[in-house]
Amino acid sequence: MKVNLLLPDGCAASESIPAFARDALKKDLELETILNAVARKDDFILQALTEAIFSPLPTPELISYRHEALHDAIDHAEEVRAIYDLCLSTDRRRLGTMGTLNWMNNYDLNTTFNGALESLNVLTEALRRLRKMAEAYEERFQSRGFRALFRMLREELTDEYLEEVKRQVAELRYPDSFLVSVRLGNHLQGVDYVLLKKSKKQTLELAVAPSYRLGEEDEPAKDISARQARAVNGVTNALAQSAMYLFDFFDRLRSELAFYIGCLILIEGMESKSMPMCFPTVLKGESEQREWEGLYDISLVVTKRASVTGNDLRAGHKRIYLVTGANQGGKSTFLRSLGQAQLMAQCGMPVGAKKFTAPLRRTVYSHFKREEDRWMRSGKLDEELVRMRKITDYIRPGDLLLLNESFSSTSEREGSEMLRQVTQALADSGVEVFSVSHLHTYASAFRGREEVQFLRAQRRSDGERTFKIVPGEPLETAYGEDLYKEVFG
């Protein structure tokens, strides 16, 4: 049974962002702040969103597929949460605390037989409830993903099938006796033990036949128990495999639903702060069009627990975006918001903005300024160069690179030249670059270039920061004097 809520049937999973780039993005874009706030200590939601964010979808069509399902989840949040809660009731860890899954790590065949049988009993009842939900919900949902899931459950989990499973489980569950066939081997030992199905006549005969109860520690009792274990070996394997298959199905369903539950929590959380969320428009990778309205940093909203300033822009045919301007003017916050939106848009999540349009980017990389290494294992410039070298080893045409005050640990002249060469080389190779920098020589080197979009942190004439990032050429000053006056009067 296939779930297919995140991807259509037959579509392969997306290529994941390299591990080193994941770690950098988590730190630079404060993604863990967002993910932990959304997950609310639910490990399944945290894992589902983390995997999705770092596995960008390769086509706009697949993103639309998830958007369809997310619209359904928003319109029918109560029903989606009900299915998710049902999946949680079949979680192996929860059942393990109840003793139901002790058989998974037990080598005793009789224990495995009874444990797998009990698990099947629980899972079959969950399947029955899931099928009833599918019948009740199918007409309410419109997305391809949810309708295909409900149709599959309705068609494959028929009443006849579920009743047959229930009957067989009941027949095996608490047997008062076993009927076993066995033949003699070459050395007169028992071989080819097979558990047989008892007819009604045999059941009756065994019920009235003379019997004698042996003590559990008696040698004959141990011998009979060992022979019984051989007889149930084949059945035990089949029961265990069936139980594991159903556990895997519920795990997949829970994991894929967790993605949509996480999106619902995110939307509800932002709406409670009066911050907009939108379904982004994601264009093909060949496009260079970017447009956003009210784009904001979600991690800042989560941290401040209040609304924040958003940014607007409309640009096209640009490969390099250079952000300069006043200190403490919101440049780094803007870059984080852009990185968050790009990653979330490419995995089918809603975005923190009123409107967001962007092209697909195969992978997103970040290179942000780091604090001084307190262990003094290397200088700041060495550390920056090592990280940049690793990025250039992996980055490819069609990727996105976010630079935040890169190479600011050296002199203005040296840092500007190093950053200019990196930016130009990557852009010439087909990489899109967003760069926040106070290096005026670096920014000025790109003046007059059609493929460059200059942005600047807005500052009013009285020195007030609006935390807006607007189109504007780089200035020679970052207005550090404003901060000095603010601190020292």
Q: How confident is the model at residue 236 (pLDDT cuts 50, 70, 90)?
A: confident
**Percent of the chain at pLDDT exceeding 70:** 88
Average pLDDT on 222-230 reads: 72
Average pLDDT on 297-310 reads: 93
What is the 3 state secondary structure string of the chain? CCCCCCCCCCCCCCCCCCHHHHHHHHHHCCHHHHHHHHHCCCHHHHHHHHHHHCCCCCCHHHHHHHHHHHHHHHHCHHHHHHHHHHHHHCCHHHHHHCCCCHHHHCCCHHHHHHHHHHHHHHHHHHHHHHHHHHHHHHHHCCCHHHHHHHHHHHHHCCHHHHHHHHHHHHHHHCCCCCEEEEEECCCCCEEEEEEECCCHHHHHHHHHCCCCCCCCCCHHHHHHHHHHHHHCHHHHHHHHHHHHHHHHHHHHHHHHHHHHHHHHHHHHHHHHCCCCCECCEEECCCCCCEEEEEECCHHHHHHHCCCCCCEEEEECCCCEEEEEECCCCCHHHHHHHHHHHHHHHHCCCCECCCEEEEECCCCEEEEECCCCCCCCCCCHHHHHHHHHHHHHHHCCCCCEEEEECCCCCCCHHHHHHHHHHHHHHHHHCCCEEEEECCCHHHHHCCCCCCCEEEEEEEECCCCCEEEEEEECCCCCCCCHHHHHHHHHC
**Each residue of 347-405: pLDDT tens digit?**
999 999 999 999 999 999 999 998 766 654 557 899 999 999 999 999 999 999 999 99
pLDDT at residue 97 is higher than 50: no
**What's the pTM?**
0.88
Average pLDDT on 218-242 reads: 75
Average pLDDT on 450-462 reads: 92
pLDDT at residue 101 is higher than 60: no
pLDDT at 99: 46
User: Mean pLDDT in the chain?
Assistant: 88
**Percent of the chain at pLDDT exceeding 90:** 63
**Each residue of 130-184: pLDDT tens digit?**
999 999 999 999 999 999 999 999 999 888 888 888 888 777 765 556 677 778 8
